[in-house]
Structures are given as C-alpha cells and as structure tokens.
Structure 1
C-alpha cells in the first residue's frame, strides 16, 4: 500500500491564532475522507507565525480545500524506519 504525507503550510502576520484555528478546523474534518490515516497540527515556539498541518493517507491524497495564503505539498513515503523494541 502506498502512503502519502500531505503538508499545508501557513504563516500568519500576527499572533491572533486565526491561522491555527483555520488549520485545526480543517484537520477536524479530514476523518471522513477516504484513505485518511492520521493528522497532526504542528506549531513551533521558535517560529510562532508558522503552522503546518501534516496528514497521512493510504493512497492518493484527495482534493483538499487549502486555506487562502497557505501552500501545500504531498510526498510519497518511499522508506520508513522504526527502531527495534528494546529488551
């Protein structure tokens, strides 16, 4: 099965949290879409105006409504690594 990781990047001009809320609302609506596996909203204290919505999909990412002013990319997972269990 092919896994794709999709990112939506947004930068806000202020610290009002509007962008973060828009991406959070978008994330909350992803669960009903075919192939959806999981999502995380990433915000960096070192870059307070930057937010990333990362979502994982089984197969092709469906058409998503990208908020105005945001950019998006999809990547196919070509290799993964998980550390072995420790005794």
Structure 2
C-alpha cells in the first residue's frame, strides 16, 4: 500500500507575567493548572468536534512517549485504499 504524509503543527506557548516583587511560590502555578484543567481539554474537545464534521476523515490521539502535558499529537487520516463511491461528474 502506498502512503503519503504531511505534518501540520499548531503550537501553543504559554507565557505569564508577574510584577517584579512577585515571589514565584505565591501562585503555585495556578495559571498552569487552569490551562491543563480547563482550557486544554476544552480546546481538544472543540478540535475533535470540528473534525467529526468531516466524516471522510478519522482522527485519534497518538502517543509518542512524550508527556501529554508537553505534547498531544492528533492523527487525522483518510483511507483511499478501498472502493470509492460512484460520483456523477457535474
């Protein structure tokens, strides 16, 4: 079977700013917990909901051994190896 691939990356870099007199222990990384606990799960849910609107494509998460706190890979695939539906040219 012949296979082709293309990589597309959508990268998020999280940055927070604090006043100069901020002691790094004060917030106990509350911003990171907000990202991991609320924002990232909502974002992933929205991505998969969007992909489901394209039924010819399949999507799943692939684990390459990197912590999901650092990377989540979503594989979006389409199979052309089987019979294709008959289409009347327009």
TM-score of the alignment, normalized to the shorter chain, above 0.5: no
Q: Classify the TM-score, shorter chain.
A: 0.3 to 0.5
TM-score by length of 2: 0.38
Task: State the structure with more CA Rg.
Answer: 2
Task: Choose between structure 1 and 2: higher helix proportion.
Answer: 2
User: Which is strand-richer, 1 or 2?
Assistant: 1
How high is the TM-score relative to the length of structure 1? 0.39
